[in-house]
Amino acid sequence: MALAIERKRAEEALRESEEKYRMLVETTEEGISIDDENETIVFANEALARLLGYEKEELLGKRSFDIVYEEDLEKLKKEVGKRRKGKTSKYELRCVTKNGRIKTFLVSATPLYKEGKFIGSLSLMLDITERKTAEEELRKQKSYFQALFEGSPEAIVSMDEKHRVLDVNPAFTRLFGYTADDLRGKDLDDFVLGEDDRMGRMYTSKVINGEIVTAEGKRRRKDGSYVDVSILGAPIFIEGKQVGIFTIYRDITEKLKAEQEKEFYNSLLRHDIANKITVIHGNLELLKEEGLEEAQELFVNDALKAAQSSSELIDTIRKLRRIDTEQTMGALKLDDIISKVIRTLEHQAKNRGITIDYVPIKGVIRANSLIENVFTNIIHNAIIHSHCTTIRIRGMREGKQYKIIIEDDGEGIPQELKDILFEPRVKGKQSAGSGLGLYLVKKLVESYGGNIEVETKKKPMHGTIFHIYLPKFL
């Protein structure tokens, strides 16, 4: 009696164990398969069927080789050979799903024996497709950035979060003379900064504390000489944590030389030549008062015009230079600007029988004092060159900008000039100017973030229309 009870308990325990095992096999996220000695699938759980896109019944009877990607067949044959020798193995294997997609699995396979004879394999298959895709993408990105790093013409150094060198690119070695082996694990400042370069150490401190720094300065080479460089230093963050720093150096020696040379010639133009033209102009005016003969006076007048044109050219070049150097913008009233320009030019217009018809524009734009030159050039050109009787000026707001229309009823602009009107040195055949006025206008308007367009009215109407777009002051 006691023996029967004990046997029943053992059977119940076995059933419970089998049930737990079955539940584990069917609920796990890992694919599980059992193959016989011929690699024919005799068992597959729900997870494996789902991962491969089959019904469980469809997998039964298939050989493992039937679902393996062809390039991995040899690998599987080798792994099966190991199991036949009693070895457990772990490897990656690509399989083909029912719909043809390739998935990568991490396979843990164990040989099965019965009475010492190999009867098949038990395999646990973990889907690592997404992980492999991410790893491949990471590898590609790493290769891409490594190629950029190695091939960049700019000197680049990568460092850890404490400013210790990890690597330098070939351009860095060419510029400074140091190789990665010279610097690796060391603080870069100890090599490229001067002994008392407080500013350079302040820049380093800022980058270590998460700031981006751009600057220019001198940095020391391995041979002790110094080079002028522009500097971009930036922290590297991963998931909000600073893990490193990179710095890019560009040799600006030639740039600084060019700027110094440019400044020299600008100074020469602004002072020496301008002063000499003033002297010439003054002496010609004195000569004109000496009671010259008619032919002599014509020569003097031509010389005066040339001197005046040269002065205007120098003034225009000064203004063009200011566009590059003057960064300060402010709020300016359109009506104040245009009214001032009209007051300056209205006498000249009246002498030529021209009416300036202006409707005040109520608006505030973002610009600087050079904006007057935009309206002065366009209105003055209309007065001098267009042979018009009326110049109309209107304005309106369009979104975040103001559109100013300056229109005349003159002869219009020839088609061959219209397409190149805003290029430097372009002028009409009868013009004695420098050909820089409208070039200056376009440069100014674009420096404010605006745009300018021109059109010629067709018959029976004539004339030219300028559309000027300027950003409103926010």
- Reference 156, options 249, 75, 226; nearest CA is 249
Q: Of 303, 323, 343, which residue constitutes the final position of a domain?
A: 323
- Reference 119, options 177, 40, 9, 227; nearest CA is 40
| Tokens at 189, concatenated | 């400042």
Regarding whether 343 and 273 lie in a shared domain, the answer is: no
Regarding whether 333 and 295 lie in a shared domain, the answer is: no
Residues with Cβ within 8 Å of residue 332, at least 6 apart in sequence: 364, 365, 366, 367, 368, 371, 473
Cα gap 395→361, rounded to integer Å: 6
Domain that holds residue 104: 22-132
Which pTM does this prediction carry? 0.50
Asked if residue 460 has a cis previous peptide bond (ω within 30° of 0), the answer is yes
Q: How many other C-beta atoms can be found within 10 angstroms of the C-beta atom of residue 317? A: 16
Q: Does residue 281 lie within any of the structural domains?
A: yes
Regarding whether 298 and 267 lie in a shared domain, the answer is: yes
Cα gap 370→322, rounded to integer Å: 9
Q: Does residue 56 lie within any of the structural domains?
A: yes
Residue 43: in which H helix or E strand, if any? Answer: strand 41-44
Cα gap 108→123, rounded to integer Å: 6
What is the pLDDT at residue 279?
A: 75
What is the pLDDT at residue 416?
A: 73
Helix (H, G, I), strand (E, B) or coil at 358: strand
What is the pLDDT at residue 14?
A: 46
What is the pLDDT at residue 160?
A: 95
Q: Does residue 139 lie within any of the structural domains?
A: no
Regarding whether 415 and 399 lie in a shared domain, the answer is: yes
Regarding whether 178 and 122 lie in a shared domain, the answer is: no
Regarding whether 218 and 244 lie in a shared domain, the answer is: yes
Q: Does residue 137 lie within any of the structural domains?
A: no
List Cα–Cα distances, 324 to 318, 327, 342, in angstroms: 10, 8, 27
Total of domains in the chain: 4
Regarding whether 91 and 175 lie in a shared domain, the answer is: no
Cα gap 412→426, rounded to integer Å: 16
Regarding whether 229 and 214 lie in a shared domain, the answer is: yes
Ranges assigned E (strand) in 240-295: 241-251
Q: Which residues pair with 469 in a beta bridge?
A: 403, 451
What is the pLDDT at residue 298?
A: 80
Q: Of 323, 348, 363, which residue constitutes the final position of a domain?
A: 323
What is the pLDDT at residue 321?
A: 67
How much of the chain is helix, strand and coil, in % rounded to 5?
45, 30, 25
Q: What angle do CA 175, 244, 150 make, to 5 degrees?
A: 40
Cα gap 351→348, rounded to integer Å: 5
Single-letter amino acid, residue 156: I
Q: Of 104, 132, 160, which residue constitutes the final position of a domain?
A: 132
Output the domain CATH number for residue 343.
Answer: 3.30.565.10
Cα gap 30→283, rounded to integer Å: 101
Regarding whether 127 and 44 lie in a shared domain, the answer is: yes
| Strand pairing report for 41-44 and 31-36 | antiparallel
| Tokens at 182, concatenated | 């010279």
Cα gap 230→250, rounded to integer Å: 5
Q: Does residue 219 lie within any of the structural domains?
A: yes
Regarding whether 401 and 276 lie in a shared domain, the answer is: no
Q: Does residue 10 lie within any of the structural domains?
A: no
pLDDT tens across the length of the chain (474 residues): 555 555 555 545 445 544 555 555 665 788 999 999 999 999 999 999 999 999 999 999 999 999 999 999 999 999 999 999 999 999 999 999 999 999 999 999 999 998 889 999 999 999 999 999 999 998 998 899 899 999 999 999 999 999 999 999 999 999 999 999 999 999 999 999 976 788 899 999 999 999 999 999 999 999 999 999 999 999 999 889 999 999 999 999 999 888 887 776 666 666 666 667 777 777 777 877 777 777 777 877 777 777 776 776 677 666 666 666 556 788 999 999 999 999 989 988 999 999 999 999 999 999 888 888 899 889 988 998 888 999 999 999 999 999 999 999 998 887 777 777 777 655 554 554 445 678 888 988 998 899 999 988 776 567 899 999 999 987
Regarding whether 262 and 293 lie in a shared domain, the answer is: yes
Output the domain CATH number for residue 241.
Answer: 3.30.450.20
Regarding whether 373 and 284 lie in a shared domain, the answer is: no
Q: Does residue 220 lie within any of the structural domains?
A: yes
Cα gap 291→294, rounded to integer Å: 9
